[in-house]
Amino acid sequence: MLEMDKKSFKKAYVNKFLEMHGVELKEGNNQQKYEALGSLVRDYVTRIWLKTNKKYNKTGEKQVYYFSMEFLLGRLLGDALLNLGIRDICREALLDLNIKLEDLENLEQDQGLGNGGLGRLAACFLDSMASLDIPGNGCGIRYKYGFFEQKIIDGKQVEVSDAWLKEGNVWEKRKAEKAEIVRFGGEINVSEVDGNLKFTHVNFEPVLAVPYDTPIVGYENEIANTLRLWSAEAVSNEFDFSSFNRGDFLQAIKYKNSVESISQVLYPEDSFYEGKMLRLKQQYFFVSAGVQSIIRHFKKHGGNIELLDEKVAIHINDTHPTLAIPELMRILVDEENLEWNTAWRITTNTISYTNHTILAEALEKWSVDMFQKLLPRIYMIVQEINERYCKELWNKYPGNWDKISRMSIISDGKIKMAHLAVVGSHSVNGVAKLHTEILKKKEMSDFYYLYPNKFNNKTNGITHRRWLLKSNPELTKLLKDTIGDSFIRHPIDLKSFENHLYNEVVLEQLGKIKKFNKERLASTILKNDNIRVDPNSIFDVQVKRIHAYKRQILNCLRIMDLYNKLIDNPNYDIVPRTFIFGGKAAPGYYLAKNTIELINCVARKINNDSRVNDKIKVVFMQNYRVSLAEQIIPGTDVSEQISTTTKEASGTSNMKFMMNGAITVATLDGANIEIKDEVTDDNIVIFGLTADEVLSYYQNGGYKSVDIYNSDQRVKRIIDDLVNGKYHNDKNKFKSIYENLITYNDEFFVLKDFDSYLKAQDKVDTLYRDGNKWQKMCGVNIAHSGIFSSDRTIQEYATGIWGSQVIYKNL
Ligand code: 26V
C-alpha cells in the first residue's frame, strides 16, 4: 500500500496540475483535471513498476507471457487507485478541492481493445497475476481504433469508429528502443553451410513493431506487471534495405499505408471466421514481435536458450496467437541453430493453449496459398511440424488415412490452427467443466485420445477487485462490516457471509444497497437512452454480444408473450419488470442486427402503451462496454444466462452478476452449471434442454420447431406478430428471425425451450414477492461467488500449467 495521506496527495495534485497545464487548478476544466490526476497516479505507479522490473531481473523468476489478440481493459484510473490503496484518500483530497473523483474517472475513455468475453478474461487475468505476485506479462496489439462505438438510431445499430487515443493515453509508455522487425512476404533461399541447411529470407517487406507498455498494478503489493501492445510502423531509412527494394516514392507511400493498417483496427467479429489476409498479418505481427522480444530479453539476462522453458511460459488465448509455435521454432532453429528435436521440446514445453469456443464457424483455417505467400518461412516450418506429426499418427494408426487426414494440421489446402495449437503445446484447456468435457469427448476427441495428459479444465473467473470492490463499494462495505475484510485477499472467505443471512438487518441492508444501485442505473438509463424506468420494478438484464446462440430472441419473445397476456387480461398479476438489454452485433451479422431492431421495436411499442407500461418497460442500452457493465451489474436483480446448452463455453458475466447479488435464470450451459453446483438449485432458476438432449437432437434429429408453432397458441401468436406488422410497418422487417425459427427449424432451440423459460420466469415472479427470501437468495449468491474470482483461476493456471512459483503471501 502506498504511504500517502490526504494532505500530501492534495499538494502533489495541485502541483501536478500547475506543472502540466500552466494554469491554476481553479481555472482548469475537467478534462485537464482528469489528465493531471492520471499523470500523478501514473507517476506513483511508475516507481512501483521500476521496482518490480528490477526485482524480476534480480530473482530471475519464471515469466509468463499471455498472448492475446484482445485485451478489454476498460478504464484504468479507478482500478489503479484501488489497487494502490489510495482511492479513498484521493476521493477525499479531491472533495476538499471541490472535485468529485467519479466525475474525473468517467472522463477516461474505455480501453476497448476486445470484442467480449475473451478479451475481458485477458484483462481480469492480468489483474490477478499482478495481485498474486506472479510475473505475468500481456502481449497484444495496440489497435489505433478499438471496438466500435454503438449508437442506436431509429432502433438500429450504427457503428462509429472508436478513436480512443484522440485525447492521449496517460497509461502507456512508448519504448522505441525495444522495437522489433517483423518480416512479411519475400522468398526463402536455402543453402548448405557446414553440412547444415541454412534458410535466408530475402525480398521481404519489413515492418517495425514498436511496443507501448502499460503497467498493471497489483492489489496493495508493490507489484506492477507489464502489458506490452505492439504498434506497426514503417521502418526508418536506417534499416538495411538491400534485401527490400522500396522502389519509388509512391511505392514508399503505399508501403507506409499498408504497414500502418496492421495495427489500425480491431476486427469486430468474434464468432465468424473469415480468412482475411490483414487478420493473418495482425496475428503474425504481434506474435513475432512478442516472441522476438522475449528471446532478446532472456538472452540479455544471461539465459541459456536450451533452458528457455524453465524460465518462460507462453500462453495463447484461443488460436489467434498460434503462430507463436512456428515462430519460436524459427528462432530456435534458424537463429539459435538448435537441432529440430531440441527446439521442438523447448517449444512445446513453453507453450500452452486455451480453447474458448466450440462453434465450428469460429474455427480458424488459413488457406495454404495465402499463408505461404505472406509467411514463407513459417509455412515451411508448419509443413515440417505436420510431416513429423503425421508420421507419428501413421505409427499409431497405420493405414487409417481417414483419421490421419482428419487430424492433420494441413489438409484440403487449409492450415487448421486448432490442430497446430494442440500439437505444439503441452497443455490444452477448456474454460468450464462442461466445455472441457465437450472438447475431450466430442470436438477434440481424436486429440484427447492421442494426448490425454495435455487436456485439462480451468474454469474462468473474474477479478473481484474491479467487479465488486470497485464497482459496488456499498456492497463491499456491508461485507466488510459483517464478515471482516479477509475476503479481499481470499475471496473464498465470502462464504462466511452465508452465516449472516438469517439476520434481518443484513437482508434489509442488502435490499437497500440493491435499490441504491438500481436508482443509479435508472438515472444512467434516463440520461443515455432517454427512458424512465421504475427502480421498484424487477431489473431483468441480458447484456452480452448479440448472437443467435445467446438467444436474445428467446428473451424478446417472452416479453412479446407477456405483453399479449397483459393486454388480454388487464388484471394479470405480475411484479412490475424492467427488461434491460445491451450488447453489440458484429457489423456484418444480419440476424444479430435484426435482433437489436426487434428489441427496440418491441420496446417502443410497449413503452408507449399506457395499458401496460406501469407494469413492464423495455430498454436497449446503447454502447455496452466495460465501464457501462460496471454500472449495470450492481443494479441487476435477474441475470439472464440463456444460451443454447453446449454453446456458451463458460460465460463470465454470469459470475459478475452473482457476485453482485443477482439471481440467475440459466440453462445448464458453461459455467452456469458450476454456479448452480455452488449455490444449489434453491438459489438459481434453471430451465431448458440438457446438454445430452441438445447433443442428441443435433446428432439424431427429431426436433421440428413448426410442431411447437402449431400446437402452442402462445407461440403461434408471437411468431405471427413478427410478420404481421404489429411491431413494424414493414412486415418483412423481422422475416429473417421468423425464417430462422420456423423455416430453418430453429437451430438454437428457442421454441423448444420457450415453455420451460416462461415457467422459470413465473418462478422468478413468485420468489421476488417474498422479499426476505429473495434477499437471502441474493446473499447466498454473493457468499458463493468467491470461487469465481480469477485469483482462483490464475492460481490453477500458475500451478497446473505454467509452473510459476506461486507465492502464498497473498492467499
Ligand atoms: C473468435 C474469432 C473468430 C474469427 C474472427 C475473429 C474472432 C475473434 C474472437 C474470437 C473469439 C471467440 C471466442 C470467445 O470469445 N469465446 C468466449 O470466451 C469467453 C472467455 O473464455 C467465454 O466466457 C465465452 O463463453 C466464450 O464465448
SS3 of residue 85 by DSSP = coil
Confidence of residue 254 (pLDDT cuts 50, 70, 90): confident
- Do you know the residue count of the chain? 811
SS3 of residue 228 by DSSP = strand
> Which ligand 1 atom sits closest to the C-alpha of 121?
20
The pLDDT tens digits of the residues spanning 348-358 come to 999 999 999 98
Confidence of residue 236 (pLDDT cuts 50, 70, 90): confident
The pLDDT tens digits of the residues spanning 57-73 come to 999 999 999 999 999 99
Nearest residue to 765 (alpha-carbon basis) of 668, 638, 662, 666 = 638
pTM assigned to the model = 0.97
- Across the range 103-122, mean pLDDT stands at 98
Confidence of residue 361 (pLDDT cuts 50, 70, 90): confident
Question: Grid coordinates standing for 499?
Answer: 452465516
- Across the range 353-376, mean pLDDT stands at 95
pLDDT beyond 80 at 528 = yes
Helix axes 87-96, 77-84, angle to 10 degrees: 110
> Does residue 651 have its Cβ closer than 6 Å to ligand 1?
yes
Nearest residue to 116 (alpha-carbon basis) of 641, 433, 676, 547 = 547
CATH number of 60-75+110-425: 3.40.50.2000
Confidence of residue 237 (pLDDT cuts 50, 70, 90): low
The identity of residue 291, as a single letter, is: V
Residue located nearest, by CA, to atom 12 of ligand 1: 270
Question: Grid coordinates standing for 438?
Answer: 465437450
Alpha carbon 803 to its chain's center? 24
The ranges assigned to domains in the chain are: 1-56+76-101, 60-75+110-425, 535-600+620-794
443 conformational bin, left if phi > 0, alpha if psi -120 to 50, beta if neither: alpha
Which residue of 68, 115, 359, 550 sits with most ligand 1 atoms within 8 Å of its CB, as the best mutation to test the pocket? Answer: 115
- What backbone torsions phi and psi does residue 530 show, to the nearest 5 degrees? 60, 40
pLDDT at 274: 86
Whether the Cβ atoms of residue 201 and residue 193 lie closer than 8 Å to each other = no
Cell 528457455 appears where?
308
pLDDT beyond 60 at 238 = no
Confidence of residue 360 (pLDDT cuts 50, 70, 90): confident
Confidence of residue 272 (pLDDT cuts 50, 70, 90): confident
pLDDT at 809: 45
pLDDT at 243: 46
> Does residue 354 have its Cβ closer than 6 Å to ligand 1?
no
Name 341's Cβ contacts closer than 8 Å, sequence gap at least 6. Answer: none
Alpha helix ranges (H) inside 312-470: 324-330, 340-350, 368-374, 376-396, 401-407, 417-423, 433-438, 445-450, 464
In angstroms, the CA 161 to CA 149 distance is: 6
CATH of 535-600+620-794, one of 3.30.70.3420, 3.40.50.1220, 2.130.10.10, 3.40.50.2000: 3.40.50.2000
pLDDT beyond 60 at 385 = yes
> Does residue 649 have its Cβ closer than 6 Å to ligand 1?
yes
Q: List 227's β-bridge partners, or say none.
A: 138, 214
Q: How far apart are the first and last CA of the chain?
A: 17
**Whole-number mean pLDDT of the chain?**
96
Exposed/middle/buried for residue 414 (C-beta within 10 Å: 0-12, 13-18, 19+) = middle
Torsion of CA 794, 796, 797, 802, to 10 degrees: 120
In angstroms, the CA 620 to CA 592 distance is: 14
Alpha helix ranges (H) inside 463-609: 464, 473-483, 486-489, 504-529, 552-568, 590-607
Percent pLDDT > 70 in the chain is 98
In angstroms, the CA 329 to CA 340 distance is: 8
Name 122's Cβ contacts closer than 8 Å, sequence gap at least 6. Answer: 66, 68, 70, 71, 72, 114, 138, 140, 317
Q: 60-75+110-425 and 535-600+620-794 share one CATH topology?
A: yes
The pLDDT tens digits of the residues spanning 717-729 come to 999 999 999 999 9
> Does residue 121 have its Cβ closer than 6 Å to ligand 1?
yes
Task: Return the active site residues.
Answer: 356, 544-545, 550, 652, 656
Residue located nearest, by CA, to atom 7 of ligand 1: 270
pLDDT beyond 70 at 141 = yes
Whether the Cβ atoms of residue 224 and residue 134 lie closer than 8 Å to each other = no
Confidence of residue 613 (pLDDT cuts 50, 70, 90): very high
pLDDT at 13: 97
Cα angle for residues 783, 788, 794 (degrees, 5° grid): 140
Residue located nearest, by CA, to atom 2 of ligand 1: 270
> Does residue 408 have its Cβ closer than 6 Å to ligand 1?
no
Q: List 415's β-bridge partners, or say none.
A: 366, 410
Nearest residue to 801 (alpha-carbon basis) of 344, 316, 363 = 316
The pLDDT tens digits of the residues spanning 173-189 come to 999 999 999 999 999 99
Question: Grid coordinates standing for 160?
Answer: 462509429
- Across the range 384-400, mean pLDDT stands at 98
> Does residue 86 have its Cβ closer than 6 Å to ligand 1?
no
Q: List 429's β-bridge partners, or say none.
A: 354, 456
Cα angle for residues 801, 803, 807 (degrees, 5° grid): 120
pLDDT beyond 80 at 668 = yes
Nearest residue to 49 (alpha-carbon basis) of 175, 206, 198, 221 = 221
Confidence of residue 464 (pLDDT cuts 50, 70, 90): very high
For β-strands 196-202 and 71-74, DSSP reports them as unpaired
The identity of residue 582, as a single letter, is: G
Q: Which residue has the higher pLDDT, 656 or 247?
A: 656
Q: DSSP string covering 127-158, please?
A: HHHHHTT--EEEEEE--SB-SPEEEEETTEEE
pLDDT beyond 80 at 244 = no
In angstroms, the CA 190 to CA 219 distance is: 52
pLDDT at 241: 53
Which strand (E) or helix (H) includes residue 71?
Answer: strand 71-74
- Across the range 126-130, mean pLDDT stands at 98
Which residue of 141, 270, 667 sits with most ligand 1 atoms within 8 Å of its CB, as the best mutation to test the pocket? Answer: 270
pLDDT at 231: 98
pLDDT at 249: 77
Nearest residue to 581 (alpha-carbon basis) of 544, 625, 608 = 544
